[in-house]
C-alpha cells in the first residue's frame, strides 16, 4: 500500500509541476476560497492511480468527496493543499494522501514539490519550554465567524506573544511536514477537515507528536478542531486553547 501511495503522489506532483507556469482559472468554492483545474486534475490522477493499484480500498478527495470515512479502508486525498499559495506563485503548497482504517489514520504521505520535500515519517523536536517553541497556525477564515473566530484570533495573538516564533503559511501540508521534521514544535488548525488532517495525523503520530483536539482529547473524525505538538509543549498549547475549545 505504501508503494501504491507513493506512486499516486508522484503522478499528482507531476501535475502540480506541469501547471505551475501557466495561467489558471479560479473556480469559486466559498468566501475567500477557490480551486483550479490543477486541483481537479491532481485529484483525478490520485483516484485513478489508487483505483488501479488498490481496487479494494475506497477513495475520498477534497474536491469530489467519496467513500464513507468511518468504514473499512479509505484513501483520503488533498490533491493541492495551499491552492491560493500555488495560484499566486508561492512554493508553500503540496499533495497530501492518507489512509484510514475504520476511521483511524494509519498511513500518510505529504509531498511539497516546490520545497523538494516528501515525508511519510519523521521525528519531532522537543524543547525545554513554550518560550523556545515555534508554533504554526492555520488560516483563521476556516473558523467562520462569531465567538469561535474571535477566540481563534485571540489564541493566535497569545501564541505569537508567548512562543519563540509564530508561523502562518497557508498550507496544512507545510505545517504537518515541518512538525514531523522538527522545524516547528506545534500546530493548530482552524478545522478538522479530513483531507487536511488524516495524512498529517498519521505522520505526526508516527513521528512522536501528540495529536488531539483543542481540549486535548484524542483527535477523531468527529473532532471540531486539530492540535498537534511535541510532547514537551502539548499541555501548554492546549491550556492556551482552552477558550477556543469552550467556544467550538
Confirm if 133 and 24 have CB atoms less than 8 A apart. Answer: no
Q: Which residues pair with 166 in a beta bridge?
A: 135
For the domain made up of 130-247, the CATH class stated in words is alpha beta
Q: Could you report the per-residue pLDDT of 135-166, keeping only the tens digit for each?
A: 999 998 766 778 999 999 999 999 999 999 99
pLDDT at 24: 80
Alpha carbon 232 to chain centroid, angstroms: 22
Give Cα 199 to chain centroid, integer Å. Answer: 7
139 annotated as a binding-site residue: no
CATH classification for the domain delimited by 2-119, as one of 3.30.540.10, 3.40.50.10320, 1.10.3720.10, 3.40.50.10890: 3.30.540.10
Distance CA 24, CA 84 (A): 11
The answer to the question of whether 196 is labelled as a binding residue is yes
Report yes or no: 63 and 196 within 8 Å, Cβ to Cβ. no
* Angstrom distance (rounded) from CA 78 to CA 195: 5
What are the residue boundaries of the structural domains of the chain, listed by start? 2-119, 130-247
Average pLDDT, the chain: 95
Q: Looking at residue 2, what is its pLDDT?
A: 94
The three grid cell numbers given for residue 114, joined into one nine-digit string: 516546490
213 labelled as ligand-binding? Answer: no
Give pTM, 2 decimals.
Answer: 0.95
**pLDDT (tens digit, 9 = 90+) per residue, 25-79?**
787 776 677 788 899 999 999 999 999 999 999 999 999 999 999 999 999 999 9
Going from the C-alpha of 146 to that of each of 150, 202, 209, the distances in angstroms are 6, 31, 31
Residues 105-131 have pLDDT tens digits of 999 999 999 999 999 999 999 999 999
Amino acid at each position: 500500500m505504501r508503494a501504491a501511495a507513493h506512486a499516486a503522489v508522484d503522478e499528482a506532483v507531476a501535475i502540480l509541476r506541469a501547471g505551475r507556469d501557466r495561467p489558471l482559472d479560479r473556480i469559486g468554492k466559498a468566501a475567500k476560497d477557490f480551486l483550479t483545474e490543477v486541483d481537479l486534475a491532481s485529484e483525478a490522477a490520485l483516484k485513478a492511480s489508487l483505483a488501479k493499484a488498490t481496487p479494494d480500498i475506497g477513495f475520498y478527495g477534497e474536491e469530489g468527496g467519496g467513500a464513507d470515512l468511518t468504514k473499512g479502508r479509505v484513501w483520503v486525498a488533498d490533491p493541492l493543499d495551499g491552492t491560493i499559495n500555488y495560484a499566486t506563485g508561492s512554493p508553500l503548497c503540496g499533495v497530501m494522501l492518507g489512509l484510514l482504517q475504520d476511521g483511524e489514520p494509519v498511513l500518510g504521505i505529504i509531498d511539497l514539490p516546490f520545497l523538494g520535500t516528501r515525508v511519510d515519517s519523521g521525528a519531532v523536536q522537543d524543547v525545554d519550554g513554550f518560550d523556545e517553541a515555534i508554533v504554526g497556525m492555520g488560516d483563521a477564515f476556516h473558523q467562520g465567524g462569531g465567538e469561535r473566530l474571535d477566540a481563534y484570533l485571540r489564541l493566535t495573538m497569545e501564541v505569537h506573544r508567548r512562543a519563540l516564533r509564530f508561523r502562518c503559511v497557508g498550507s496544512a501540508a507545510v505545517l504537518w511536514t515541518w512538525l514531523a521534521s522538527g522545524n516547528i514544535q506545534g500546530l493548530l488548525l482552524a478545522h478538522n477537515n479530513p483531507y487536511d488532517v488524516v495524512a498529517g495525523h498519521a505522520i505526526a503520530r508516527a513521528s512522536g507528536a501528540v495529536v488531539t483536539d483543542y481540549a486535548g482529547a484524542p483527535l477523531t473524525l468527529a473532532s471540531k478542531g486539530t492540535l498537534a505538538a511535541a510532547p514537551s509543549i502539548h499541555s501548554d498549547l492546549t491550556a492556551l486553547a482552552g477558550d477556543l475549545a469552550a467556544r467550538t
